[in-house]
Structure 1
Amino acid sequence: MSDPHYDREAEKYESPIPSREHILSFIQEKPRSKRQLFDLLALADEQKKAFERRLRAMVRDKQLSCNKSGVYRPFSNRGLLTGTVIANPKGFGFVALDKGGKDLRLTSQQMKLVFHGDKIRVRLLNKKLDAEIVEVLETVKTLVGRLHLDGKKPYVVVDDRRIKHNIEITELIDGCLDNQVVVVEMLSSPTIDSDAKGKISSIIGNYLDEGVEVDSAIYRHQIPAVFSEKALKESAQLPTKVIPKDKKNRIDITKLELITIDGEDSRDFDDAVYAEPTKNGWKLLVAIADVSHYVKEGSELDSESHERGNSVYFPHRVVPMLPEAISNGLCSLNPKVERLSMVCEMYIDPLGELLDYKFYSAVMLSHARLTYTQVNEMLEDKKSPLRMTFSNVTDNIDFLYGLYKTLRISRQKRGVMDFDRIESQILFDNKGKIKDIVASSRNDAHRLIEECMLMANQAAAKFLQKNNEDFLYRSHPKPTAEKVELTQKFLTAIGLTLEGGIEPESRNFAKVLKQAKGRDDENIIKTVVLRTMKQATYTPVNEGHFGLAFEDYAHFTSPIRRYPDLLVHRAIKRVLNTTSREPSGKMIEFGTHLSMTERRADDASRDVEQWLKCEYMRDKVGENFHGVISGVAGFGLFVELSEVYVEGLVSIRDLKDDYFIFDDVHHQLKGQRGGKIYRLGDMIKVKVASVNLDDRKIDFIPDFG
């Protein structure tokens, strides 16, 4: 069949190729591959490259679509799905569908057309859930990366391991220098043949300068970090202290010896505690900063705090949810000043069970600002000089400790999992550079405050559920049967048993952790159990809190730094003021957003911490360290150094003493010839081989010496 548009094509090109209409006529009969079209259209070798370009142009112009096998078919909008791109650092990706369900898969070739976070429309190709991109609906607006001016054209290497594209820069701004970290405003998406294009919108700073890594993470994770003028104006109009009219209809508890207990570096204090014994057990007051009195629903401050969702904590910097005038001033329970608060007053029996509770608005005064270290010293040493310094509140401290020991009984009875793992703490010098990375462990003062907050959070959920209010639970669903089965197999292999079948209770896991205490592999067992758990989320549906073994649980105790807590406070006030409202669909949307902002904050904090650790290790290449195998995969071993709490990878190709097979059940690599085993939790000596700051990767090699 001859091309009806041959004459038109011959006028345009010296060596004409088949017209688009002619190509479509063949493909409409039946989907065809490129090679099939070569044969059907009898193309000469010199025509093939131009023909391939035409096929790509027809895909671009939505006349054709092409799957990963290279088969072309007519473009169609029927049966298309929309979703968000989730990129994997290895190059491939997924599509999280807007309608929910299983993620679809994108090949590395398809990923060349999009960025992580893009909104796209795709076509499902097969039952394996492979998809092809049909249209980019919304692309990222800005990206962060390192500027390179050493070639013919300026370009930026994106500072996100999930994005493999370089950005061609079409426009610089004054002050641009090679190797700076910059923000790029995107102008066009990438194609199969060309890089994305963008222009420099701002300069963050010079690579390796103090604070640049945090600013980069803020941009990279799209964390709102600057308050609008309107929000700042609203906060500036608030009083700087409690004024008389705000005390009306509030209970005065300023005489109670309430205290705050926080970290040494804390600046915002949103909870204060007081305890005393009763005939039937204990009375506990948890007084929380009344943020809802000042941040009104529908205000600009409210809108911006909702958008942020939570404060974001970096190793030596905080991006607050609320302006400093509120978070560190008016709503911070600073010592010796009156503050408005929402109080949860609880009565607890000698076995740590919650007997009764009530909520009320109050005026309070913190009688002492204490740190965890100070309180722990006072608990351990009855003759500590600190007891004299804080003699006005020592009775309260002792009562709180007595209550804590009671609450621990209840905790054990419920079967709460004990995940007290050793965490790392980064110490900085006065220039903002890492001085050391040390172990950071919790003491009884941390646990005391935690137990008080858990009781108040539980009471808040019970109170609002009882009154059918509109709020968000803090939900932690049961782990999946698949993960439970894998964990059971691992524990069986090391001589432990997880009881409870495919639906074990929290107490079954707690029993395993108790049996693990004192073992050499205790921390690893905790890691495996932790990885079995699902992620906690915010939802208006009460699914209980599996990890804490609570049937009802919400976040009430930190409204300065968490928006869900602010929602809970407003709901409590509606009940107290008899203006309750029925649950609405609005909370579903809120829960989704606030769960996302929490993950976003965690990812950003972890990102910066990993970068700082890599920077710290840069001058230690070639040095030997002892470590423990913290993860096992088919491609190698993750090792956490015992001395500095930094994790890196030993590639399987560097385990040269044998050929190793990955055993996912036992979390180990086993040598086929010699039987050598590298198992999760084993000690290993390694040498630092390389450090890649851009990828935030540290590579080790085994030290067989």
Structure 2
Amino acid sequence: MSDPHYHREAEKYESPIPSREHILSFIQEKPKSKRQLFELLSLEDDQKKAFERRLRAMVRDKQLSCNKSGVYRPFSNRGLLSGTVIANPKGFGFVALDKGGKDLRLSSQQMKLAFHGDKVKVRLLNRKLDAEIVEVTETVSTLVGRLHIDHQRSYVIVDDKRIKHEIQIVKLLEGCKDNQVVVIEVLTSPTLEKNATGKVTSILGNYLDEGVEVDSAIHRHQIPSTFGEKALQESANLPTKVMPKDKKNRVDITNLELVTIDGEDSRDFDDAVYAIPSENGWKLIVAIADVSHYVKEGTELDSESLERGNSVYFPHRVVPMLPEAISNGLCSLNPKVERLCMACEMEIDSLGSLLNYKFYPAVMLSHARLTYTEVNEMLENKESPLRKKYSRIKENVDYLYGLYQTLRISRQKRGVMDFDRIESQILFDDKGKIENIVARKRNDAHKLIEECMLMANQAAAKYLQTENEDFLYRVHPKPTPEKVEITRQFLTAIDLRLDGGLEPDTSDFAKLLKKAVGREDENIIKTVVLRTMKQATYTPKNEGHFGLAFEDYAHFTSPIRRYPDLLVHRAIKRSLSNKKREQSQRMAEMGTHLSMTERRADDASRDVEQWLKCEYMRDKVGDSFSGVISGVAGFGLFVELSDIFVEGLVSVRDLKEDYFNFDDVHHQLKGQRGGKIYRLGDTIKVKVASVNLDDRKIEFIPVH
């Protein structure tokens, strides 16, 4: 069949190719691949490239569509795919499809039509999984950013660097000034020709004001931070102390010298501990605040707590999961006041193995509010005045320490990985600005409490599993063979070995970390091993906890600040009262949501911490520091300063002594001419070149 538009094409092109109409007539009857069209249209080799360009143009102009198998069909709005936009700070993006599967790619041009987080309908353009946005079905409603006002216009630069759009402000609030951090409501989505528009709904404060960075992060990460009136009313209706009727059917353990051990700045105490030697080894009682008694399923308070998922901890502020009347009052195990609790009583043998356990609702009384520092001093110094001050409970502290030493043996026997990495602690002055960044010290008191909580969490999972109850495990899957291989290649390059083949177990990693102790690059090795691990999640399906080497593990010990723990408490109560509930699909959905809220909290906390560190470094531009290479990429080196725990980038363009090639196997940059090597874990001296608060980035240059 000849092309009816051949002459028109011949006037335009020396070697004419089939017209668009002619191509469509072939595809109208039955979709066809590019190769089939080559044959049907009898194309010569010198015509094929031009023909391919025409097919792409017809897809662009919405005459044809092309699926991922490379089959062309007449364009139709049917078969569109729904998903969520995931933006990359470099400008391009992806669409995570609602139905799952591989993400589709969006060009920088397509990203001009949507924000990160928008719900969209897209069309697949080709087998490379490129897509185009057909419709924004649900746009992000609020954004936070810095307001710019000049004599011509007002606009906001969004705080989230994944959103590249300027938002044109069509309505300001009274009191709006240039350089304020504001929350805006998006009124219209962006197009290729026009910016999005919005109106200011609240002013968070002036840029650099105390606390503005936290408010900004709360909005940016969409963390619920205010309770609704109904939830607050439900909270206000609760008693302020334990009522006689609430003590019914509870074991009275007020005579046991239970104590809380927390940080100096803690305000909510949800766990108390008591230990005593027994015939087999030790008896340990972990008493946890009974939040489930007051926060009932189906209430507004419960609904809002689930939405939050957890408390969010910023360097000098907390967004609590529950109203403060509950978290710091009624459910906090404050000293010398009766509190309702769920007790986990455990028998532990002399090798640290869990022999037996039981759970029961109880009434308790904390006999002392101790801090980690106080307990550590009591353990290290038998003549400490604190032992006199706390004479009534010092025996419990000594027994707890004896139990801890037993549990430490069990930990080593299981082969638990020791990630006791140095972490930073930000110290603030009276104005809320950073005074210093120091190493956060973990002592034996921290580890003692940690081991007690691990045992109680394990007991809760074991108990509920045998009861076949509806709850969430805390699961930490095995690392993938691919990640293990990458880590092993790095370790080989620094003369370390990871045993265990493609599927090393926890003890293989534990042995490796033991070998790293005392090395200059110890912290880096721990970082690399951490990156090998998968993220822990909440799920009703038990897959064990790889990092802790537990077959059964759940979160039971912090119901004030984690919703999964509250679910575990409810499940234990149902089981004890023979009101068991079979596993439900809703629990799987809650597991997905609560895993997300945990990541959201971590991201927001990290975000604020990085901003504060950048602010702290602003007046140190030009100063030199020594650091350790904490990451290597093709574009440069990440360096963590040794004394103040701040990370920044040395761009490869500033390594002027040579041309450097990236070796991803050995995590290093190697000079092409001189052979100079910058390797992960190496020490390096750097100078602070610049600090960008908006992007939360610090740039270093090497000092030779």
Q: Normalization by structure 2: what TM-score? A: 0.91
In the alignment, which residue of structure 2 is the partner of 1:177?
177
**C-alpha distance in structure 1 between counterparts of 2:73 and 2:643, whole Å:** 59
* Cα gap change, 1:217 to 1:500, in 2 (>3 Å): same
Is 1:547–2:547 an aligned residue pair? yes
In the alignment, which residue of structure 2 is the partner of 1:41?
none
**C-alpha distance in structure 1 between counterparts of 2:373 and 2:571, whole Å:** 35
Q: After TM superposition, give the deviation of residue 59 of structure 1 in Å.
A: 8.3
- Contact 1:65/1:134 (CA < 8 Å) preserved in 2? no
Q: After TM superposition, give the deviation of residue 607 of structure 1 in Å.
A: 0.4
* Cα gap change, 1:370 to 1:494, in 2 (>3 Å): same
Residues 419-460 of structure 1, C-alpha deviation per residue, up to 9 Å, x if partnerless?
Answer: 000001110001111111111121111110000000000000
In the alignment, which residue of structure 1 is the partner of 2:377?
377
- Contact 2:66/2:126 (CA < 8 Å) preserved in 1? no
In the alignment, which residue of structure 1 is the partner of 2:694?
694
In the alignment, which residue of structure 2 is the partner of 1:42?
none
In the alignment, which residue of structure 1 is the partner of 2:92?
92
3-state SS of paired residue (1:112): helix
Residues 122-150 of structure 1, C-alpha deviation per residue, up to 9 Å, x if partnerless?
Answer: 23334433322222121100000000002
In the alignment, which residue of structure 1 is the partner of 2:448?
448
**C-alpha distance in structure 1 between counterparts of 2:124 and 2:441, whole Å:** 49
* Cα gap change, 1:429 to 1:292, in 2 (>3 Å): same
**C-alpha distance in structure 2 between counterparts of 1:240 and 1:210, whole Å:** 33
**C-alpha distance in structure 2 between counterparts of 1:192 and 1:93, whole Å:** 16
Residues 644-681 of structure 1, C-alpha deviation per residue, up to 9 Å, x if partnerless?
Answer: 11000000000000000111111100001000000011
Is 1:662–2:662 an aligned residue pair? yes
- Contact 2:337/2:366 (CA < 8 Å) preserved in 1? yes
Is 1:496–2:496 an aligned residue pair? yes
* Cα gap change, 1:112 to 1:400, in 2 (>3 Å): same
Is 1:678–2:696 an aligned residue pair? no
- Contact 1:84/1:117 (CA < 8 Å) preserved in 2? yes
**C-alpha distance in structure 2 between counterparts of 1:28 and 1:271, whole Å:** 71
Is 1:238–2:238 an aligned residue pair? yes
In the alignment, which residue of structure 2 is the partner of 1:192?
192
In the alignment, which residue of structure 1 is the partner of 2:352?
352
Supply the AA of the counterpart residue of 2:459: A
**C-alpha distance in structure 2 between counterparts of 1:425 and 1:653, whole Å:** 32
- Contact 1:689/1:700 (CA < 8 Å) preserved in 2? yes
Runs of 4+ in 1 over 4 A off after TM superposition: 23-31, 62-68, 71-75
Is 1:647–2:654 an aligned residue pair? no
In the alignment, which residue of structure 1 is the partner of 2:15?
none
* Cα gap change, 1:111 to 1:252, in 2 (>3 Å): same
Q: After TM superposition, give the deviation of residue 112 of structure 1 in Å.
A: 1.4
**C-alpha distance in structure 2 between counterparts of 1:356 and 1:641, whole Å:** 47
Is 1:557–2:573 an aligned residue pair? no
In the alignment, which residue of structure 2 is the partner of 1:586?
586
Q: After TM superposition, give the deviation of residue 65 of structure 1 in Å.
A: 7.3
Q: After TM superposition, give the deviation of residue 494 of structure 1 in Å.
A: 1.1
**C-alpha distance in structure 2 between counterparts of 1:30 and 1:637, whole Å:** 55
**C-alpha distance in structure 2 between counterparts of 1:477 and 1:94, whole Å:** 26
**C-alpha distance in structure 1 between counterparts of 2:211 and 2:76, whole Å:** 49
- Contact 1:24/1:74 (CA < 8 Å) preserved in 2? no
* Cα gap change, 1:278 to 1:162, in 2 (>3 Å): same
**C-alpha distance in structure 2 between counterparts of 1:24 and 1:123, whole Å:** 21
**C-alpha distance in structure 2 between counterparts of 1:75 and 1:638, whole Å:** 48
3-state SS of paired residue (2:181): strand
**C-alpha distance in structure 1 between counterparts of 2:214 and 2:460, whole Å:** 35
Supply the AA of the counterpart residue of 1:119: K
- Contact 1:421/1:441 (CA < 8 Å) preserved in 2? no
**C-alpha distance in structure 1 between counterparts of 2:67 and 2:636, whole Å:** 33
- Contact 1:27/1:74 (CA < 8 Å) preserved in 2? no
3-state SS of paired residue (1:181): strand
Residues 447-488 of structure 1, C-alpha deviation per residue, up to 9 Å, x if partnerless?
Answer: 100000000000000111100000000011011111000001
In the alignment, which residue of structure 1 is the partner of 2:13?
none
**C-alpha distance in structure 1 between counterparts of 2:423 and 2:126, whole Å:** 44
- Contact 2:67/2:124 (CA < 8 Å) preserved in 1? no
- Contact 1:145/1:156 (CA < 8 Å) preserved in 2? yes
Q: After TM superposition, give the deviation of residue 2 of structure 1 in Å.
A: 12
* Cα gap change, 1:66 to 1:433, in 2 (>3 Å): farther
In the alignment, which residue of structure 2 is the partner of 1:43?
none
**C-alpha distance in structure 1 between counterparts of 2:21 and 2:174, whole Å:** 54
In the alignment, which residue of structure 1 is the partner of 2:312?
312
**C-alpha distance in structure 2 between counterparts of 1:684 and 1:571, whole Å:** 53
In the alignment, which residue of structure 1 is the partner of 2:322?
322
In the alignment, which residue of structure 1 is the partner of 2:614?
614
RMSD: 2.2
Task: Give identity over the alignment, percent.
Answer: 79
Q: After TM superposition, give the deviation of residue 380 of structure 1 in Å.
A: 0.9
In the alignment, which residue of structure 2 is the partner of 1:432?
432
**C-alpha distance in structure 1 between counterparts of 2:480 and 2:632, whole Å:** 21
**C-alpha distance in structure 2 between counterparts of 1:263 and 1:97, whole Å:** 43
Residues 358-406 of structure 1, C-alpha deviation per residue, up to 9 Å, x if partnerless?
Answer: 0000000000001111111111111111111111111110101111111
Moved more, 185-194 or 247-256: 185-194
In the alignment, which residue of structure 2 is the partner of 1:631?
631
**C-alpha distance in structure 1 between counterparts of 2:290 and 2:383, whole Å:** 36
Moved more, 536-545 or 188-197: 188-197
**C-alpha distance in structure 2 between counterparts of 1:657 and 1:64, whole Å:** 53
**C-alpha distance in structure 2 between counterparts of 1:220 and 1:30, whole Å:** 51
Supply the AA of the counterpart residue of 1:327: S
3-state SS of paired residue (1:421): coil
Matches within 5 A, 1:360-439: 360-439=360-439
* Cα gap change, 1:652 to 1:86, in 2 (>3 Å): same
**C-alpha distance in structure 2 between counterparts of 1:442 and 1:639, whole Å:** 24
In the alignment, which residue of structure 2 is the partner of 1:166?
166
In the alignment, which residue of structure 1 is the partner of 2:485?
485
Q: After TM superposition, give the deviation of residue 102 of structure 1 in Å.
A: 2.7
Q: After TM superposition, give the deviation of residue 77 of structure 1 in Å.
A: 3.4
In the alignment, which residue of structure 1 is the partner of 2:334?
334
| Aligned residue-pair number | 658
**C-alpha distance in structure 1 between counterparts of 2:578 and 2:671, whole Å:** 69
* Cα gap change, 1:63 to 1:250, in 2 (>3 Å): farther
**C-alpha distance in structure 1 between counterparts of 2:354 and 2:360, whole Å:** 18
**C-alpha distance in structure 2 between counterparts of 1:318 and 1:220, whole Å:** 16
In the alignment, which residue of structure 1 is the partner of 2:153?
153
3-state SS of paired residue (2:255): coil
- Contact 1:650/1:702 (CA < 8 Å) preserved in 2? yes
- Contact 2:4/2:22 (CA < 8 Å) preserved in 1? no
3-state SS of paired residue (2:109): helix
**C-alpha distance in structure 2 between counterparts of 1:561 and 1:547, whole Å:** 22
**C-alpha distance in structure 2 between counterparts of 1:646 and 1:66, whole Å:** 48
In the alignment, which residue of structure 2 is the partner of 1:79?
79
* Cα gap change, 1:385 to 1:176, in 2 (>3 Å): same
- Contact 1:690/1:699 (CA < 8 Å) preserved in 2? yes
**C-alpha distance in structure 2 between counterparts of 1:412 and 1:582, whole Å:** 36
**C-alpha distance in structure 2 between counterparts of 1:373 and 1:626, whole Å:** 30
In the alignment, which residue of structure 1 is the partner of 2:44?
none
In the alignment, which residue of structure 2 is the partner of 1:40?
none
- Contact 2:122/2:132 (CA < 8 Å) preserved in 1? yes
In the alignment, which residue of structure 2 is the partner of 1:124?
124
Q: After TM superposition, give the deviation of residue 557 of structure 1 in Å.
A: 0.3
Supply the AA of the counterpart residue of 1:611: W
3-state SS of paired residue (1:321): coil
3-state SS of paired residue (2:175): coil
Q: After TM superposition, give the deviation of residue 324 of structure 1 in Å.
A: 0.4
Q: After TM superposition, give the deviation of residue 24 of structure 1 in Å.
A: 9.4
- Contact 1:349/1:355 (CA < 8 Å) preserved in 2? yes
Q: Normalization by structure 1: what TM-score? A: 0.90
Is 1:263–2:267 an aligned residue pair? no
Supply the AA of the counterpart residue of 1:599: R
**C-alpha distance in structure 2 between counterparts of 1:59 and 1:73, whole Å:** 13
Residues 240-262 of structure 1, C-alpha deviation per residue, up to 9 Å, x if partnerless?
Answer: 00000000000000000000000
Q: After TM superposition, give the deviation of residue 703 of structure 1 in Å.
A: 1.1
* Cα gap change, 1:273 to 1:30, in 2 (>3 Å): farther
3-state SS of paired residue (1:542): coil
In the alignment, which residue of structure 2 is the partner of 1:287?
287
Supply the AA of the counterpart residue of 2:313: Y
3-state SS of paired residue (2:500): coil
Q: After TM superposition, give the deviation of residue 64 of structure 1 in Å.
A: 7.9
Q: After TM superposition, give the deviation of residue 66 of structure 1 in Å.
A: 10
Matches within 5 A, 1:136-147: 136-147=136-147
